[in-house]
Amino acid sequence: MLQEGSDTFRGGFWNYFSMGMDAQVSYAFHTECKLNPEKFKNQQVNQSTYAKLVSTQGWFLPSHLNHAASISQLCKVKIMKKDTGWQDLEIPKSIRSIVCLNLPSFSGGLNPWGTPNSHKRRNRDLTPPFVDDGLLEIVGFRNAWHGLVLLAPNGHGTRLAQAHRVKFEFHKGSAKETYMRVDGEPWKQPLPENDETVVVEISHLRQVKMLATHDCRARSALGPPSPVVLDVDEKDSDKEDEEVRKKFGAADTFKIPEGLDISHFS
């Protein structure tokens, strides 16, 4: 549900909502496709163009060098857990992209939430991403290097929270606009220039039955347990990005396009 002033726009079934870095690059990519459709004829060209857009927009820079507005600067984020009221969600200043997941699949089948280990389940009350628990997984990313950790085995983003509802409140601030994306469809969202408020609220409405294979990543809270997967340590620091550079290329389906040197963007 998107609320802007007194107008309300309601959306249907969706897989994920993202705002910030990922949505901005996706918006630029879709704009290029519409302007020059003849240039996007195969996967290699698409990947090359996407990587160049990420680089030219500065998302490979470490968080302390990236001048793009952080999520905490753009808006206030509130969450509602079951049988509780709204509460503020603290977003680290380094987070410049945020993703709300309805299913454990994002951007070509990646899983930003992963499977929290027993320590995180106990101390932070986190659970695996079940599709029928009514919870949305909220994940943050610092920059493109942080996002590339998803290509490594057991990689995941910064787990911020799980909630039944999440709300983004935009007030007059440091930016005139931001970028949002729902299931691959990006748009440019104008932000308030006066005292009005733009509110984006996402809530769980109901469920529909879906067909799934036996080895599907999406699991039910009432079904058999998922295979045990060891979680990787999560540290919100730029030192982790150095490890990501070393792991880059671990995924079989993604490769750095030939002729593209991104080393100078770090």
Say if residues 233 and 120 touch (Cβ distance below 8 Å).
no
Contacts of 192 (CB under 8 A, 6+ apart): 170, 171, 172, 173, 198
Determine whether 54 is exposed, middle or buried from the number of CB atoms within 10 Å of its CB (0-12, 13-18, 19+). buried
Average pLDDT per 10 consecutive residues for the chain, totaling 266 residues: 45 79 87 85 79 71 65 93 88 92 81 82 83 89 77 82 93 84 89 85 79 76 61 48 46 50 44
Which of 159, 160, 141, 161 lies closest to 244, judged by CA?
Answer: 141
Write the pLDDT tens digit of every residue in 181-220: 998 889 999 988 887 888 999 987 777 777 777 777 777 7
Contacts of 225 (CB under 8 A, 6+ apart): none
Structure-token pair, residue 106: 């994002």
**Residue 179 carries which side chain, given as an amino acid letter?**
Y
Pick the CATH number of 20-207+236-250 from 3.10.150, 1.20.950, 2.60.200, 2.60.40: 2.60.200
What residue segments make up the domains of the chain, in order of their start? Answer: 20-207+236-250
Structure-token pair, residue 2: 């998107």
